[in-house]
Amino acid sequence: MEAFNAALKIGLPEVMKVYPDRLPVIHISAHGANTGIQLSSGDVLSWADLRPMLAPINESLGGYLLLYMSACEGYSACQMAMQVDDGPHPYFSMVGNFGKPTWSDTAVAYSAFYHLLSKGYNVFEAVGRMKAASGDDNWTAETAEQSKQGYIQYLQSVVPTEAQQELQTAADVAHIHPDTKALEKS
């Protein structure tokens, strides 16, 4: 964990001084799962743990941090942007894989991706082509705002259904007869 923190707090600012005219990229290569990542040190970082490490960096960059995940289920990093409040996002856009890409497919995918970025393609165009280069269609890119809005829409669709189920369960437990009617105003 110490090396990872040093990379974010010392390494990233040092590299930014060398290349002041370029947007920084954080490329995390680690073991991944839908709950977070495991660093080479063996330390496990949940997405909830990683979010407060990245959000201040993104905020200091005016909201333009680019996050690239070389990890199984790396797309799950989008969970860091799934919030209902207006707090700062942990990144501007993120690239990750829905599945469990092989090491060789990941190497080919990101080689193509970075090559295309250097030629002027935008992130979303480059991801489309990295899918073709690697033969893995599970690569995707998404902005933090897209993740947030998708999460909010999901909550809006699920919460009423869950609340309705909870009321039905309460009625079942209370043994309320299904033909019982609500009191009406006269």
Position 85 scores a pLDDT of: 87
- HEC profile of 145-184: HHHHHHHHHHHHHHHHHHHHHHHHHHHHHCCCCCCCCCCC
Kind of pairing, strands 36-38 and 139-143?
unpaired
Q: Is the pLDDT at 172 greater than 90, yes or no? A: no
* Three-point CA angle 37, 38, 44, nearest 5°: 90
Mean pLDDT (whole number) for 118-146 = 96
Instruction: Read off the pLDDT of residues 79-96 as tens digits, 9 standing for 90 and up.
Output: 999 988 888 999 999 999
Smallest Cα–Cα separation from 123: which of 113, 131, 115?
113
- The structure tokens 């799934």 sit at 82
Residues 105 and 74: beta-carbon distance below 8 Å: no
pLDDT tens for 43-84 read 999 999 999 999 999 999 999 999 999 999 999 999 999 988
